Amino acid sequence: MGVSTRSGSSRLQSVNPSNKQQSECNKCNSHSCCIGDGLTPEQFSSLEKIIHLRGPFQPGETIFKMEDPFKSLYIVRSGSVKTEGIMSNGTQLVEGFYFAGDIFGLEAIGDSHYRHDAVALEPTWVCTLPYAQLETLCSFTPRLQHRLFNLLGQKIRQTNSIIGRGRYRKADERALFFLECLYKRNIGKKDGGRENIRLPMTKGDIASYLALCPESLSRSLRKLEDRGIIQNHKNAIEVLDLGTAFNDICK
């Protein structure tokens, strides 16, 4: 869930759709992004007909809420999104982070409503994929069906990898693993010569996502900093020696 561990479509550059026209995704030549990979032009235009661009959402603005009836899947076009649910005791918890090219809302498939809120972390544009129409389109387009099945399988694997195995890790390892995931997505995005992981979410959000209290995360980051692995900033983390540390700490 959330922070992607894949490599393929994760390099999608974020494109700022400043005009409300359909803008070109520099991977797929379409705003339908990664889901349209490998379609013929005709299939592509069918897909484009059902997709809508929505935005901009301002930081903290809600894209959909738990109570909303499930109508659409979403793809992040630019910006970033968190999803957060609520425990039976009332505490909120962050369930995923999504960046440009990521699809979200998959958890709601087969359900009547969403199970969590989706909130923009920064100025954000999204594409909506009306699900009923998408499913119909899939039944005429084996390639699209194949893509969607694969995305769902991938989502399950990601959840197992990050959430599932994260449970067995200690706080330091969780923090490091999280950074590793973000880092993989940010390859090539060097700010001023140094490799930076930008953090559009708060540290509190990260802590919640990792099932840690904010204090524990803060201490873990401090430890990593003391070891010379990272440098901790307010809205970013500077990467000094992530690779070897990762192999070292997470074995």
Site of interaction with its own copies (CB under 8 A): 1, 85, 87-89, 91, 93, 95, 106-111, 115, 135-136, 138-139, 142, 145-146, 148-157, 159-160, 163-168, 211, 250-251
Q: Contact 102/75 with Cβ under 8 angstroms? A: yes
Q: How far is the CB of 194 from its own copies (least distance, A)?
A: 28
Q: How far is the CB of 68 from its own copies (least distance, A)?
A: 16
Burial 176-204 (b: 16+ CB within 10 A, else e): bbbbbbbbbbbeeeeeeeebbbbbbbebe
Reading the block at residue 124, the tokens are 């954000």
Q: How far is the CB of 24 from its own copies (least distance, A)?
A: 26
93 binds, among its own copies, DNA, none (CB under 5 to 8 A by kind): its own copies
Least Cα distance to 180 among 241, 227, 122, 121 occurs for 241
Taking the CA atoms of the chain, what radius of gyration do you get in angstroms? 18
219 binds, among its own copies, DNA, none (CB under 5 to 8 A by kind): DNA
Q: How far is the CB of 60 from DNA (least distance, A)?
A: 9
Whole-number Å distance between alpha carbons of 123 and 35: 23
Three-class SS of residue 15? Answer: coil
Closer residue to DNA (CB): 72 or 186 = 186
Closer residue to DNA (CB): 107 or 172 = 172
Q: Which residues bind DNA (CB under 7 A)?
A: 170-172, 202-204, 211-222, 232, 234
